[in-house]
């Protein structure tokens, strides 16, 4: 990792050490200049590690950054990301607005540049990623994490895509995606220098997720629900942000039934009109067709009603089992954590 360097020079950094110490941009963490050198700024007060344990962000900066910049779920599904979006840069923020998308800030990195009916999710670019010394110490230091370095470069590159015009910068600062005091001339100089260090075409030392720009959430859900690699664990939940209640689950999953019933009703009405005319009353073939289709229309709603009831019971039981299993595992982990703390 020793050959890796920050993707911009110190002369163009947007958040200086003084800013991170709280004397400049109000969006940066409070503190003092001396303590900043001893205790690097963090992105949050706490984080939850992969074991589900709540950790103080200041206890282990590296693990904190790994949790904040985790793209493992998208990397696992990289073979199918072509289904979720085109391999082109994300559109700038003002273009997102013209498409009617709300800009929704999120700190979950694997939702960054994922869009749905709610809008497009964007992870704010914290001041630490605009500081040269932080990159040098936490992301480029000897023995560092290559994957973490590439993820951070990807986040930086995504903002090169998103903030192309001055109006984009205004939208970004208004939504608190960038430090509020960022000036347009300052951002232009910063982007020019980033593009000298990060090749947006070859994506060298950039996480492969950023080969794609915007990703569709509903298609990510389809991949996680239908791919043999994920179906066992994610059949119901998908990638995420799917259903808040059972009502929304059935509305989205079975809303198409309304079209089916409308079609059946239309055909039944047409058959009734045909039977009311004198020309078709004596047609045995037409009579047989009408009887068969009527029986079919009686059977289909019954079958669908039973199927929906079965699915409801199955989903409820699966959620109940998962909840009980999760609670049991969590209790076991807490006992093991307690024992570890006592041993220490």
Tell me what the mean pLDDT of segment 199-221 comes to.
Answer: 94
Q: What is the pLDDT of residue 39?
A: 59
CA pair distance 207, 153, nearest whole angstrom: 8
CA pair distance 62, 132, nearest whole angstrom: 17
Buried b / exposed e across 271-301, counting CB within 10 Å, b at 16+?
Answer: beebeeeeeeeeeeeeeeebeeeeeeeeeee
Q: What is the pLDDT of residue 238?
A: 81
pTM of the predicted model as reported, rounded to 2 decimal places? 0.78
What percentage of the chain has pLDDT greater than the value 70? 88
Q: What is the pLDDT of residue 253?
A: 67
Separation of first and last alpha carbons in the chain: 33
Ranking 12-16, 151-155, 316-320 by mean pLDDT, the lowest is 316-320
Tell me what the mean pLDDT of segment 188-214 comes to.
Answer: 95
19-to-22, 126, 318 alpha-carbon distances in Å: 5, 12, 50
Q: What is the pLDDT of residue 31?
A: 41
pLDDT band at 201 (very low <50, low <70, confident <90, very high): very high
Q: Which is more confidently placed, 338 or 236?
A: 338
φ/ψ of 49, rounded to 5, equals: -80, 180
Half-sphere exposure of 61 (CA within 13 A, CB side): 13
Tell me what the mean pLDDT of segment 212-227 comes to.
Answer: 92
Burial of 195 (C-beta count, 10 Å sphere; 0-12/13-18/19+): middle
State the pairing for strand pair 103-105/114-116: unpaired
Q: Which is more confidently placed, 344 or 163?
A: 163
Q: What is the pLDDT of residues 55-97, one digit of tens each?
A: 888 888 888 899 999 999 999 999 999 999 999 999 999 999 9
> Mean pLDDT for the chain?
85
Q: Which is more confidently placed, 287 or 188?
A: 188
Q: What is the pLDDT of residues 5-42, one digit of tens each?
A: 999 999 999 988 887 776 434 444 444 444 444 556 77
Question: Is the pLDDT confidence value at 125 over 90?
Answer: yes
Q: What is the pLDDT of residue 109?
A: 96
């Amino acid at each position: 990792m020793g050959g890796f360097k920050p993707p911009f020079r110190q002369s163009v950094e947007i958040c200086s050490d003084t800013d991170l110490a709280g004397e400049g941009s109000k969006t940066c963490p409070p503190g003092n200049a001396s303590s900043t050198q001893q205790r690097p700024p963090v992105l949050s007060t706490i984080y939850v590690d992969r074991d589900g344990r709540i950790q103080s962000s200041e206890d282990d900066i590296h693990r904190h950054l790994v949790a904040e910049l985790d793209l493992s779920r998208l990397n696992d599904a990289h073979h199918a990301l072509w289904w979720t979006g085109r391999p082109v840069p994300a559109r700038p923020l003002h273009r997102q607005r013209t498409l009617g998308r709300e800009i929704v800030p999120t700190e979950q990195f694997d939702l960054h540049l994922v869009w749905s009916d709610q809008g497009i999710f964007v992870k704010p670019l914290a001041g630490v990623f605009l500081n040269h010394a932080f990159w040098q110490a936490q992301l480029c230091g000897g023995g560092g994490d290559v994957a973490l370095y590439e993820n951070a470069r990807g986040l930086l590159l995504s903002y090169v895509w998103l903030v192309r015009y001055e109006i984009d910068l205004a939208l970004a600062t208004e939504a608190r995606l960038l430090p509020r005091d960022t000036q347009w001339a300052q951002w232009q100089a910063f982007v020019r220098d980033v593009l000298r260090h990060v090749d947006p075409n070859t994506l060298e030392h950039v996480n492969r997720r950023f080969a794609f720009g915007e990703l569709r959430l509903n298609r990510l859900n389809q991949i996680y629900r239908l791919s043999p690699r994920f179906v066992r664990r994610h059949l119901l939940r998908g990638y995420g942000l799917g259903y808040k209640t059972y009502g929304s689950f059935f509305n989205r999953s079975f809303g198409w039934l309304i079209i089916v019933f409308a079609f059946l009703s239309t055909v039944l009405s047409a058959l009734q009109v045909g039977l009311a005319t004198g020309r078709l009353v004596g047609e045995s073939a037409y009579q047989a067709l009408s009887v068969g289709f009527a029986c079919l229309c009686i059977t289909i709603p019954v079958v669908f009603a039973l199927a929906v009831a079965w699915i409801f019971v199955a989903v409820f039981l699966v959620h109940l089992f998962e909840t009980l299993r999760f609670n049991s595992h969590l209790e076991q982990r807490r006992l093991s954590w307690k024992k570890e703390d006592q041993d220490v």
